[in-house]
Amino acid sequence: MNAQQPLPLIGVTMGDGAGIGPEVIVPAVLDAATLSRCRPVVIGDAARLREAARILGTGCEIVAVPTPAAAETAPGRINVVDLGLLPADLPWGTLSAAAGNAAYEYVRRAAELALAGEIDGICTAPLNKEALHAAGHVYPGHTELLAHFTGVEEVSMMLSTEKVKVIHVTTHIGLIDAVNRIEPGLVERTVRRGHEALVRAGVMAPVIGVCGINPHAGENGLFGYGEEEEKIVPALETVRRDGIDARGPLPADTAFFLAARGDYDLIVAMYHDQGHGPVKVLGIEAGVNLTVGLPVIRTSVDHGTAFDIAGTGKAEAGSMIEALRQAAEMSTAR
């Protein structure tokens, strides 16, 4: 990046204020490496961030700003678009409809800012789905919320660690529903979104491994009812004709091992746990969640609200720092 080009402005949503979001945001946005890559602006609650800083024993200045453009980046300073939605006595580690509603509003505001070009990307701290639902916002999570706010009908979830990246054909639905939903068009679109995301991130000729649905990818019809041939193979044939190096269907029990040793740049998982389980074993501490297919850049930590340790100062900020790094990298590339 040349000296004249400003660092990207990244909106950091605070997530559920009763969880560890505020405690991972404070050290992450103060981190020197973060400030060398982007200009972070928190969209959340200034008072809650001050409380998190107190718990962490972190000396910093937390400044409410009216717009991201008004933020001044400096060591020891945290800029906040302060929505002021949380009650002052909100307990840590407790399910709260007020915190669920606030988390919803932080994401809504961030989407507005991104679509208006006031921020270059979004990085989200974790929200709690039960709290979100208790507030009357019935969405499975961030991915679906952002798709709603940006007017996009279909997006994909990608998890990224140092060793492996995985994109999901289906996510927050039951296993039987997932198998029923998988069809060649959805598989094809998922592969294309994953390929585009990797190219945008600088991998010019990604090698993509595509998992099967059944054990051993069906083993030539031995397991299942021909789902691989019916639902996956036609999609792979289509994308290959367009020059995308997509290989499979692969047995999921070996695909992630091969990706971790470098055989694949991206694994396509058919359903939630097929992708999440291996990724969390390989690198949850620095894992990042990306929403692929939005008109805005969005990354997130790959962990939850951790109510059991919220408010104790024990939360690790590594995943948030990595999520900010990838948000800045993808925003710059754009």
CA dist 284 to 17, 72, 164, Å? 21, 32, 11
Classify residue 271 by burial, with Cβ atoms within 10 Å: 0-12, 13-18, 19+: buried
What pLDDT score does 218 carry? 83
Mean pLDDT by groups of 10 residues along the chain of 334 residues: 74 98 98 96 98 97 97 95 97 97 97 95 95 94 90 90 90 92 98 92 92 91 90 98 97 93 96 90 71 89 92 94 90 67
293: left (phi over 0), alpha (psi -120 to 50) or beta: left
Residue with tokens 């030539």: 220
Instruction: Identify the sign of the CA torsion 20, 25, 31, 34.
Output: positive
- The total of other beta-carbon atoms located within 10 Å of residue 72's CB is 9
Q: Are 292 and 194 in contact (CB under 8 A)?
A: yes
Q: Are 217 and 251 in contact (CB under 8 A)?
A: yes
Q: What is the pTM of this model?
A: 0.83
Cα separation of 74 and 79, whole Å? 10
Q: Identify the structural domains of the chain with CATH numbers, from first to last.
A: 1-152+294-334 (3.40.718.10), 155-293 (3.40.718.10)
Cα separation of 292 and 298, whole Å? 8
What pLDDT score does 279 carry? 84
